Structure 1
Amino acid sequence: MIAPNLPYHPSPRRPEISLPPGACDAHCHVFGPAARFPFAPERTYTPIDAPKETLFALHRHLGIDRAVLVQASCHGTDNSAMLDMIAASDGACRGVAMVRADVTDAELRALHEGGVRGVRFNFVTHLGKDADFGGIRGIVEKIAPLGWHAVVHFDADRLPVLAPFLKELPLPMVIDHMGRVDASKGVGQPAFGMLLDLMEDDRFWVKVCGPERISRAGPPFHDAVPFARLLVDRFTDRVLWGTDWPHPNIKVHMPDDGALVDLLAHVAPDPARLRTLLVDNPTRLYWPETVRSAAPAGALAEKV
């Protein structure tokens, strides 16, 4: 059965905190519109249309200048909607694709030219069949020459099996949503300890986003803050943040994206660390060609 999704927040508040110039939403999605970019027949959920125009407007409202679009399973390996938004962003967007195990070098080069800089692999029960280890190894071998990285999305209980495998892969890896740990179990829980162990390897990065996914207390998701704060403090140069808009598969508490931005005041209260999280780190990973430039990143605005 294909599950429907809740609509995203209709009127997120304007954040109380100001984000630094060049701030990046390093985890967000664009869905459809389905009439132009159909959803994959094999999907396990049907999202609400979340087109690029709405996401551009949200980022302007929040004070965000750049974005990394992450391909989600509802579009499968058809990355067209993501590539369309990247093309409309005047260089302010990059992408993380999903690809087939038999993807060709020519297809990967086309994705690279379109602004893609990584591939995502899913190990989350509600999203269907896990990515195949053999297929992942083959894809990694193909993307390594492009300088790409892998984004890994998993349920925390998969870590005992996944961690040894991930350590074998010879490229940078970004872990989604703080490893989807259960915030009610505290930072001393074994799953979070395994995540911290992975992060001791400097090939690993982690996204301190998705507080609504790990929280058990509900809005304003403050029970997720200790996890994000610890990761930012301990691994300052390998953390990323994103909204996760339009929040697919949220069942109860659809977050206000302005409130999610304001959580950053607790996650990274030091201005230098906030800039590293929102500007410097995503620049190094997704816009490395600009690292030597002193010019600020271009504002996120759709071409007209």
Structure 2
Amino acid sequence: MRLEGERESRNVEDRRGGGFRGGGGGFPVRIAGGGIGTVVLIVLALAFGVDPRVLLSGGGEAPQSQVTQRQETPASGQEDGPRRFVAQVLATTEDAWNDIFRSAGRQYDPPNLVLFSGGTQSACGFAQTAVGPFYCPADRKVYLDLAFFRDMEQKLGAPGEFARAYVIAHEVGHHVQNLLGILRRVEQERRGMDEAESNALQVRIELQADCLAGIWANRTEQMRRILEPGDLESGIGAAAAVGDDRLQRRAQGYVVPESFTHGSSAQRVRWFRTGLESGDLRRCDTFGTNRL
């Protein structure tokens, strides 16, 4: 990726070197959200430049963030290349989504990204490295242990800067879903569902975030021309590497489709490519299709 000279986001909190903060059990983010038809309306509203509040009578807006955005002083010796890379990629997501929201007559409120090592406290519980990167809707922050990038390369076979950027863009995609009220409404829809039905709905959330990551890549390439030879293959390889089927087969030797929560490798690649190639938010409607 061509990031030389690109600005760094100021919305990075570097908690590395501070050890574990807080206590409790770590768990993946529980995504808030509701009614499927309403989800589709929200996505289309943004795409067509209509404020979703007009369609939802104000009911689907995520609450205004009460977290003051700040850049914390990194621990000694940690103003390094990996941190700079994360801050630069986060800045490209801010620029891309600022542009998209502005074209819809709205203002984009970017998330903070928390770098941690080992574990740290989040509003969604105690974050641990084993959980992997995640977005917490309660505090509107992305949590990332940079050790995950090493694992992507060494354990999952997904090397490259664009593969790492895809991970960040995917989590920011969840933030976009949160701003649009999608997460809260999907969570409401999941109430009363059995585990298999709830997992299936969660897969649609994750695949939409993949598509939104593709939208970021499309818009950023138009604005910045940051892609270099091999970058697209790196991003697609990362999407495939974190498919539920591949991860389950690696961990236990067999696949249980009804337990999927993020989608298969083929599905994740398909939706990332959909956003990447089209740049069209309307194409990211994972809730209105029978073919994932």
Q: Higher strand proportion, which one? A: 1
TM-score, normalised relative to structure 2:
0.27
Structure with the higher helix share, 1 or 2:
2
TM-score by length of 1: 0.26
